[in-house]
A and B are shown apart, each in its own frame.
Chain A
Amino acid sequence: MLDTVKYAAANPDTPQPYRELGLKDDEYARIREILGRRPTSCELAMYSVMWSEHCSYKSSKVHLRKFSELPAETHIGKLLAGIGENAGVVDIGHGYAVTFKIESHNHPSYVEPYQGAATGVGGIVRDVLAMGARPVAVMDSLRFGPADAPDTHRVLPGVVAGIGGYGNCLGLPNIGGELVFDPSYAGNPLVNALCVGVLRHEDLHLAKASGVGNQVILYGAKTGGDGIGGVSVLASESFDAEPDDSTGQGTGTSRRPPAKRPSVQVGDPFMEKLLIECTLELFAAGIVVGIQDLGGAGLSCATTELASAGEGGMRIWLDRVPLRDASLAPEEILMSESQERMMAIVEPADVERFMQICAKWDVPATVIGEVDASGRLTVEWQGEIVVDVPPRTVAHQGPVYHRPIARPDSQDALQADTPDQLPRPDSPGELRATLLRLASSPNLCDRSWVTNQYDRYVRGNTVLAQPEDAGMLRILEPARGKHASPADGTAEEALGVAVATDCNGRFVKLDPYVGTQLALAEAYRNVAVTGARPLAVTNCLNFGSPEDPGVMWQFEQATQGLADACRRLGLPVTGGNVSFYNQTGDRAILPTPVVGVLGVIDNVYKRVRRGWRTPGTVIYLLGTTREEFGGSEWAHVVHGHLGGLPPEVDLDAERALAEVLVTAARDELVEAAHDLADGGLAQALVEACLAHDLGARVSLPAGLDPFVALFSESSARAIVGVRPESEADFVALCVHHGVPTTRLGVVLPSDEETGGPQEAGASERTGGRLVIEDSTLRPLFEIPLSELREAWERTLPALYEVV
């Protein structure tokens, strides 16, 4: 018996399993009030999934308003689309815009690492595509349990293979990201995927079903039983307590409601590639009135969001949805999270052309509905009305919670437990050993075992990718054949963007307000060191349970810190994503508000990279070093200690530093620049030397203990390699902006130049050393680069290489 609207009205007392679907008593009562009757099972499915934490942001909404209160503009212009759209769209000048967004796929990636991570990439790419943009690059921000834990050996290789398997097959370069290990992520890895898209201003598309009589077209993959209820399940307490329901057959009150199964969606990157090319051709043909991707909550989300953004209503004939599994019930079709699907609103006269373009790309497309003037979303199944709702009540008028907030009692003790008493290395030999130990630690070692599984070259516009501090893309490639060399192109042709994501969860744990500002500061700095000017911010806020007042306190502090810092730095927040319930039992992850910063560079040919390139280059340290070890990598690696306060945040200093870095790049004063963060100066030197096997002789700043100089993690700092002839200009620039400078030393020639013909592999990497002296030029220690490289490169292959 089909649970139609008519049947529901006539049978108001039929018990409904709303609690099992994650709805509270008062939420269910509100649905009945909205509808003036009990919901049908289809309606209940839609409300339950759309009102889940994941889709409705019911616990975070009141805090996220701080971001929409920020000025929605950059120094270039107003945002073309901001918070609330599929992804924010930022004007980058010359008529171009960039859209970027980062989204979590944490829980699915724990359950099934390969598919969970793969579909995370797929979802964010469709979000960006739905804005009218061509997706041009991806990044991923990953966090796992201890590197040597057995479960990390299950999760990490799968996640990396999934990101590669999907992204590589889509033809999108992977240009960077993060890889962090911490015990708090055991059982709760974080997989945050970011996508960057490029569009002309006039190509902007929005998720809006307007124009009565316009046709609703579902195109892309067929709908199957995958991920049914996934969203709802993932946003509820845990997934191991879910009933192991089988696929429900039949409909109505006699059957069980749609099963809440912890099933992870399965991705088909080939279909997604076709979907991208097909959609871009549809945009170019000018026949798309409105568009929405199908992600979490599938058709329920797409239909209600499109309809509520339009001026009318929408009618859907659910029987027309092409199915991969013919036994699916209407509730399941509405909730299915089958991947690689899009929904477009098209004028009737353009439908034929639409279908032709889809056919060219072998993409199935079906008219499943029509925009009408009813103001309601109605869904028909076998000639009966099974859904009849005001769409806004589903998509936008979900519950809003003011969850209790309480600073945890343990916070004082945590902050009082400073790292000051931890034993420190004091002899030169101990400092040397500490440097090597940190360089080989999982959070600081070479990432190429991971990043070499990702295609960073495809599309031919990758200017910077890992291990650089930020990824950078050329927007418009030089017109072919027009110039003798690509570097001779026009200003428009030299335009580029840089993107970095960062977050040190330990800092956020110690002080969520400051820690989140530090995350922003680091991403901001990472963009600036490349020569790009920071422009806009996105975020992916990963936290524990919102029902824990201590977690909500972290969340409240983090969002406030980010909003305040963005205001100070003049950066809009263009969008974001919240992932709650990242915890195992009552143990939450380190609060991890990943912050992404987008920057713009006028001339990509002047980008600055992190490694030394020429012997004789003069090395400067910019910024102020304080004794700051709370939450540091040293305390974590050597002592397993987390306590005290994070480094001070000084946004004015960050802004001045960025100004110096951007100007120095533009005026070609520097040939290398590298952000100082985890592991401090020591780690930055290691990475700058190993990039091209050029050593350095460095004397540590006067007035600082060598240990502090090498390993403190004070923010607003960078090292730069200044061209000798530009030294005076560079120092004058720093003085002008009030950025403290310390002349550290010079880049050394590589010893290999005395050798014979080069052989590839290890043998060409002989020679070179990092020499550390105290401020009186007395040698403290030196390390051959070959030894440094062995320490830095071996760690991840030793853990995860299977050959």
Chain B
Amino acid sequence: MTGGEEVHPRIGVITFPGSLDDQDAARAVEIAGAEAVPLWHRDTDLGGVDAVILPGGFSYGDYLRCGAIARFAPIMTAVIEAAQDGLPVLGICNGFQILCESHLLPGALVRNNRRTFVCRDQPLRIDNAETVWTSAYSPGQRIVIPIKNGEGGYVADSATLDRLEANGQVVVRYVGDNPNGSYRDIAGICNEAGNVVGLMPHPEHAVDPLCGPSTDGLGFFTSVLRRLVTLP
């Protein structure tokens, strides 16, 4: 290891059986300058990481309901506990679904209204640039990153939606054509404390200009890094 004086935050990436974007999330973490720590679904502790990412994929095949089985994975007990204590947690796509199933975030994600899987480069707007995962962006900033989901329609009752809006918990919104019928064009939300963020789009696929449509996704990973290195 080099750079002994550097603060080198460790960010855990959980692999559930059926996780697919775990390597991509780890890559994004490392491009941002942190250390990616692989975590296994059967682990019962988080190995002292400074933040956790629940990556995209189809955990346990998503045969019951997206994220419904993963929510009961041994590691989720530790994640839920740590999240309640303020640990930064980012759920991407399937990870967002798991966070909703775990009740760390309100609402649910349902089958796309277009009824087909959709993978495309999606314009988005950052509506809350103050969360631990979005502070590198400016409020209202437009970005383009990939979305890819079959069940990405965000739904919640209107009281919940109103509360999310009032509290600034809508973190990211779709711009232009809504890809999946999400209520109020919601693409990502956070909990009240702002440390837990769920995103349907995939920032980890927009960190390298060679293989992504942009590098607009990198900000999610540099945001948390910045927060972690400035912590006392």
Contact = CB atoms under 8 A, between A and B. Distances in A.
B118 A169 contact: no
B17 A457 contact: no
B2 to A, nearest CB: 10
Interface string A481-512: 10000110000000000000000000000000
Interface stretch (B20-28, B163-171, B188-196): B20-28
B48 interface: no
B20 A458 contact: yes
A169 B58 contact: yes
Nearest to B212: A457
Contact of B205 (A270, A273, A457, A463): A457
B127 interface: no
A1 interface: no
Given A164-B117, A474-B210, A481 B33 contact: yes
- How many chain A residues sit at the interface, stated as a range, is 35 or more
30 contacts: A168-B119, A169-B20, A169-B61, A169-B62, A171-B20, A171-B21, A270-B58, A270-B60, A271-B61, A274-B18, A451-B119, A452-B118, A452-B119, A453-B118, A453-B119, A454-B117, A455-B117, A457-B119, A457-B148, A458-B56, A460-B23, A460-B27, A460-B212, A462-B211, A477-B27, A480-B30, A481-B31, A604-B210, A605-B210, A758-B142
Contacts of A758: 142
Interface string A454-474: 111111111100000000001
A448 B31 CA distance: 30
Interface string B34-66: 000000000000000000000011101111000
Interface stretch (B81-89, B108-116, B154-162, B218-226): B108-116
Contacts, number: 112
Contacts of B123: 760
A486 B56 CA distance: 23
A760 B176 contact: yes
B interface secondary structure, majority: loop
B119 A455 contact: yes
Nearest to B177: A761
Interface of B: 17-18, 20-21, 23-24, 27, 30-31, 33, 56-58, 60-63, 113-120, 123, 142, 146, 148, 150, 175-177, 202, 204-205, 208, 210-212
Nearest to B18: A270
A390 interface: no
B210 A168 contact: no
Nearest to B24: A460
B116 to A, nearest CB: 5
A759 interface: yes
Interface in A772-803: 801-803
Given A168-B150, A474-B211, A456 B58 contact: no
B20 A273 contact: yes
A29 to B, nearest CB: 48
Contacts of B175: 759-760
A361 B17 contact: yes
Given A273-B20, A361-B17, A486 B210 contact: yes
Contacts of A453: 116-119
Interface of A: 161, 164-165, 168-171, 268-271, 273-274, 361-362, 448, 451-463, 474, 477, 480-481, 486-487, 604-605, 758-761, 801-803
Given A455-B119, A457-B211, 9 more contacts: A171-B57, A448-B120, A463-B211, A480-B27, A481-B30, A486-B208, A487-B210, A801-B114, A802-B115
A460 B211 contact: yes
Contacts of B20: 169-171, 273, 458
A361 B58 CA distance: 15
A452 B120 contact: yes
A170 B118 CA distance: 16
Contacts of B21: 171, 458
Q: Which 4 A-B pairs have the closest CB atoms?
A: A270-B61, A171-B20, A760-B176, A480-B30
A444 to B, nearest CB: 21
Contacts of A271: 61
A172 B89 CA distance: 26
Which of A164, A361, A460, A759 has the most chain B CB atoms closer than 10 A to its own CB? A460
A249 B24 CA distance: 50
A604 B209 CA distance: 12
A171 B20 CA distance: 5
A448 B119 CA distance: 10
A362 B17 contact: yes
A270 B63 CA distance: 9
A456 B119 CA distance: 8
Contacts of A461: 211
A271 B61 CA distance: 8
Nearest to B144: A760
A187 to B, nearest CB: 25
Contacts of A452: 118-120
A168 B204 contact: no
B60 to A, nearest CB: 7
B200 to A, nearest CB: 14
A480 B61 contact: no
Nearest to B56: A458
B18 A273 contact: yes
Contacts of A362: 17
A585 B175 CA distance: 52
A157 B69 CA distance: 29
A461 B208 CA distance: 10
Contact of A455 (B31, B61, B148): B148
A448 B21 CA distance: 23
A165 B117 contact: yes
Contacts of A270: 17-18, 58, 60-63
A74 to B, nearest CB: 25
B96 to A, nearest CB: 16
Nearest to A759: B176
A273 B60 CA distance: 10
A481 B8 CA distance: 12
B40 to A, nearest CB: 9
Contacts of B117: 161, 164-165, 168, 453-455
B211 to A, nearest CB: 5
A761 B119 contact: no
B61 A268 contact: yes
Contacts of A481: 30-31, 33
Contacts of A161: 116-117
Nearest to A172: B20
B124 to A, nearest CB: 9
B79 to A, nearest CB: 20
